[in-house]
Structure 1
């Protein structure tokens, strides 16, 4: 434990920079606890606190800018890749889209306070075509607010933090084992959440793009096509699709369609998780429902037409 305290004392600023950079690049470990520890020292050394805030802002800006330009260059492929490699549930893309739809650019200011939004907000802003100057302004404001909050909480509770560090120092090696156990438990919890989400939605029936396109040509057999993505300006959709808000599911919504109607849901997320969630809800209401394999991206890859959203 003395080694950890020595690192915080001698290399606190470097640790802040590296921890924030790693988290914002996608590492599944929060850097806010470290900011709070550093904030405890900043209560006695205000200049140190200012340096820590500036370095945290620089690290976050570097990482966020990389993801922003990746989103601008490769679009939604970046979002799908991030969700596949992260430990967050696969609904993260839809939640980010929904946040942008409700709050617009304010999402970038709040993103670092919301698990699941932080890593995807920057590439989504790039994929949506947000001007770079607007992104830098809003993301910079959010970064400084987030960093100042972490350091400020540390400074506010510096006495408690100092008591905690003193207690950990007395525990010696046991404290390091305890911290390692907490980190491992946190990672395991996130992994189990992801696996539970995927397991709960397994077994949902699906349909391929070509098969769906053929059914759409048959008036009697044409299914009701439901787009469960969050509505965004300039968004395209599969012809004839209707929107379904996963955040406001209500059995009364189904009254607009005949009881014998079959539904096909689609999204633009890894493993079609949002679409599977919608299909599962429809099945629970006694309706027939399938998922479009590959979502709207699979539809596009099949060379099938899209239309502008209403």
Structure 2
């Protein structure tokens, strides 16, 4: 274990840069503890602490700008890609869309304190057309707050951190095994939460071709979009209703959908999440509320778009630079 501590002492800045960059790109490798430890080791020198903060902020900004550009170029498709490498897909797109839709770029100030939020928020900023200068400003401030808090804690408790490192060094290989054990437990816990979530949401689903076929034969189920209103306005399946708008009409979110008889052809719920997690969650809630024919749409909006079917958008947001292109003929 002593060699690992010596490695951190000698190459701490490089390790911090790579760790922050990799974490902000989406890998489940926490950088905050490394920032705290490095801050403790460099606590005696204000110049070294300042350099540490700059290096970590630059690493975070590089990763976030990559996601911003990806969101700007590829739109909603990139959001699903991020969640596929996340260990917490259930807390992925829908929550981020809700927070970003409410607070806009200001949400980037606290994004890095929420696991899985930073990458999605960066990509979402590009998707919704947040100006690059605005994004960089708030993202840099957010990175400064995140990195600065870790470095401050490290320097504040430098003696405690140093004592802990000394104990781990004294334990030798057992100290290293202990660190590895804690990290493995962390990953396994996240993996188990993900697996349990997916198992709990198993239910019959509807494909986009099945939905299109129903529409072609004059059968129109009630289609519900669970995404944030801003995303709904920018592009949606034709005739889809926004769940956010529906649920605000009453103290009971599902009450505006009553009576159930008005949905003779059932309810179809879609999102942009891997495994249709947000859609399946809502479908389960509606089933508990008494709706019997509710199915999530496999692949959500991106699958519908990829199949060549048209995507509607509000005229107010369907302007040059924000247009949502039609992908094919509208299903009658």
Equivalent residue for 1:253? 254
What is residue 264 of structure 1 aligned with on the other side? 268
Deviation of the 1:171 alpha carbon: 1.4
Partner-residue secondary structure (3-state), 1:105: helix
Deviation at 1:200, TM superposition (A): 1.0
CA contact (8 A) 2:89 2:277 kept: no
Change (3 A) 1:29 1:70: same
2:207 corresponds to: 208
Count of matched residue positions in the alignment of Structure 1 and Structure 2: 308
Relative to the length of structure 1, the TM-score reads: 0.91
In 1, distance between residues paired with 2:247 and 2:278?
11
Tell which deviates more after alignment, 278-287 or 209-218: 209-218
Contact 2:57 2:144 in 1 (8 A): yes
2:77–2:302 contact (8 Å) kept in structure 1: no
Report the equivalent of 2:89. Answer: 89
Cα distance per residue 1:140-189 (max 9 Å; x no partner): 11111111010011112222212211222221211100001011111111
Show the counterpart of 1:305: 310
The 1:27/1:217 distance shift into structure 2, 3 A limit, reads closer
Structure 2: state its 5+ residue gaps.
Answer: 316-332
Gaps of 5+ in 1: none
Aligned pairs (5 A) from 1:262-301 = 262-287=266-291, 288-301=293-306
| Preserved CA contact (<8 Å) 2:27 2:85 | no
- From the superposition, tell whether residues 150 and 266 of structure 1 become closer, same or farther in structure 2 (CA, over 3 Å): same
Work out whether residues 267 and 275 of structure 1, in 8 Å CA contact, stay in contact via their aligned partners in 2. Answer: yes
- Segment of structure 1 superposing worse, 180-189 or 117-126: 117-126
CA RMSD of aligned residues (A): 2.3
Offset from partner CA, 1:12-65 (integer Å, 9 cap, x none): 112111211121122211110011111212332211111110110111111111
1:33-48 aligned at under 5 Å gives the runs 33-48=33-48
Bigger mean CA offset, 45-54 vs 207-216: 207-216
Q: Secondary structure at the match of 2:41?
A: helix
Stretch deviating more after TM superposition (245-254 or 295-304)? 245-254
Distance of 2:303 and 2:226 partners within structure 1: 15
Please name the residue that 2:323 is paired with.
none
